[in-house]
């Protein structure tokens, strides 16, 4: 009898152990299956889109260029510039003012907080970066552009009268003083500061209105929502120059900076109005004057090659209107 009981206890223990081993086996099997079909379930998902810009594992080239820790916008916690950034930025200016004094005036005026720190596996933020190329004319992209969560426009590119092709929605407009235009109350004014005077102009435009001249005439004031003002960080500008333009040109173009900015705050990026027309002509959709992507300041050819590389690496989708 005792032998029988010991045998039953042995069989029970053996069955329990076998059950646990089988459970572990199937758990591992499911883990491998999940990995083979959809990606390892323990892997941190960067966003809720089907393809996420910030997924750095699907492009070695992108991973080498992209720095997720770079400061994008100026605020009081990151306002002190690294020496190498300060030297490079000041070399772009003919007469540099006192940066410390200027930013001390800046932060009390405009929102002093961290923006766009809400990235995560539940977010799928779609962004349209809208350039000013003539290839937008006749594209009928308006509804598609307006469908995005964020619509970023560059410099003076208008919407009125061009809604069918360029849309009417604007959430961000990236400008410098010489390209500034009035904005509605829902649009973020994103200042591209190439010089300290640009920041001084921004302060003046909302206070004393005494700056009317830089290297050319600029508006003394601007219609914009003060609570939606942002300033691109000089370190971000330097980062785009070093990592993405790879030192070509004097500093990156507004369009190129806007696109890289979008890569950092968006999960899915669609690009409109970049490049030439079907006939290889470079001009703005709102004027007849011919333009060129290559000049003494911006390395347009290299920027264009980088943008095309981003498309090949599935980081952006280019919409050229005529394709």
Q: Is the pLDDT of residue 241 over 50?
A: yes
Helical H segments across the chain, by residue range = 2-38, 60-65, 83-91, 99-109, 142-146, 163-166, 196-206, 234-239, 254-265, 300-312
Kindly tell me if the per-residue pLDDT of 280 is higher than 90.
no
Is 215 among the annotated ligand-binding positions?
A: yes
Q: Which of 24-28, 213-217, 273-277 has the lowest mean pLDDT?
A: 24-28
**pLDDT for position 27:** 34
Confidence of residue 221 (pLDDT cuts 50, 70, 90): very high
Of 46-50, 91-95, 141-145, least confident by mean pLDDT is 91-95
Work out the pLDDT band at 282, boundaries 50, 70, 90: confident
In angstroms, rounded to a whole number, what is the distance separating the alpha carbons of residues 133 and 68?
Answer: 29
Q: pLDDT per residue over 88-120, tens digit each?
A: 999 998 777 899 999 999 999 999 988 998 989
Lowest mean pLDDT among 29-43, 59-73, 238-252: 29-43
pLDDT for res 176? 96
pLDDT number for residue 322: 60
Q: What is the DSSP letter of 241?
A: I
Burial label for 162, CB within 10 Å (0-12, 13-18, 19+), is middle
**Domain boundaries along the sequence of the chain:** 1-43, 56-319
The sign of the torsion formed by the CA atoms of 189, 194, 200, 201 equals negative
- Is residue 93 part of an annotated ligand binding site? yes
Give the residue, 29 or 68, on which the prediction is more confident: 68
The answer to whether 298 is annotated as binding is yes
Any known ligand binding at 283?
A: no
**Does CATH number 3.90.1480.20 belong to domain 56-319?**
yes
Mean pLDDT in residue range 173-194: 97
Percent of the chain topping pLDDT 90:
70
Q: Write down the pTM of the prediction.
A: 0.85
Whether 285 is catalytic = no
Q: Burial of 36 by CB count in 10 Å (0-12 exposed, 13-18 middle, 19+ buried)? A: exposed
Residue 43 confidence class, pLDDT cut points 50, 70, 90: low
Which pLDDT belongs to residue 20? 36
pLDDT at 173: 98
255 annotated as a binding-site residue = yes
Instruction: Compare 56 and 307 and report the one with higher pLDDT.
Output: 307
Active site includes 298? yes
* Active-site entry in 66, 141, 239, 251: 251
pLDDT digits (tens, 9 = 90+) for 115-138: 998 989 999 999 999 999 999 999
Q: In which element (H, E) is residue 271 found?
A: strand 268-272
Out of 12-26, 146-160, 167-181, 218-232, pick the least confident.
Answer: 12-26
Average pLDDT over every residue of 33-48: 54
User: SS3 for 243?
Assistant: helix
How much of the chain, in percent, has pLDDT values that exceed 70?
Answer: 84
Tokens of 72: 């994008």
Is the pLDDT confidence value at 199 over 90? yes
């Amino acid at each position: 009898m005792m032998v029988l009981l010991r045998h039953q206890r042995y069989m029970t223990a053996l069955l329990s152990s076998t059950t646990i081993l089988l459970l572990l086996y199937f758990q591992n099997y499911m883990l491998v299956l999940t990995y083979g079909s959809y990606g390892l379930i323990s892997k941190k998902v960067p966003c809720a889109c089907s393809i996420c810009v910030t997924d750095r594992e699907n492009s070695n080239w992108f991973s080498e260029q992209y720095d997720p820790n770079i400061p994008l916008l100026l605020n009081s916690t990151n306002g002190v510039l690294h020496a190498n950034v300060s030297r490079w930025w000041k070399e772009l200016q003919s007469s540099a003012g006192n940066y410390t004094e200027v930013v001390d005036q800046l932060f009390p005026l405009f929102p002093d907080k961290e923006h766009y720190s809400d990235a995560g596996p539940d977010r799928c933020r779609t962004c349209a970066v809208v350039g000013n190329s003539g290839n937008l004319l006749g594209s009928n992209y308006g509804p598609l552009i307006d469908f995005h969560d964020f619509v970023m426009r560059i410099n003076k590119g208008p919407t009125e009268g061009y809604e069918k092709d360029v849309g009417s929605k604007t959430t961000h407009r990236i400008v410098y003083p010489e390209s500034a235009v009035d904005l509605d109350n829902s649009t973020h004014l994103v200042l591209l500061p190439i010089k300290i005077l640009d920041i001084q102009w921004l302060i003046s435009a909302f206070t004393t209105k005494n700056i009317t001249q830089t290297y050319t005439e600029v508006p003394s004031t601007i219609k914009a929502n003060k609570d939606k003002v942002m300033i691109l960080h000089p370190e971000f500008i330097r980062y785009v120059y070093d990592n993405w333009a790879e030192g070509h040109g004097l500093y990156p173009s507004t369009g190129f900076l806007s696109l890289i900015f979008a890569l950092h705050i968006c999960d899915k990026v669609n690009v409109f109005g970049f490049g030439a027309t079907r006939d290889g002509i470079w001009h703005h959709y709102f004027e007849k004057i011919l333009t060129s992507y290559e000049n003494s300041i911006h390395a347009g050819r290299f920027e264009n090659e980088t943008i095309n590389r981003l498309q090949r690496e599935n980081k952006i989708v280019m919409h050229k209107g005529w394709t």
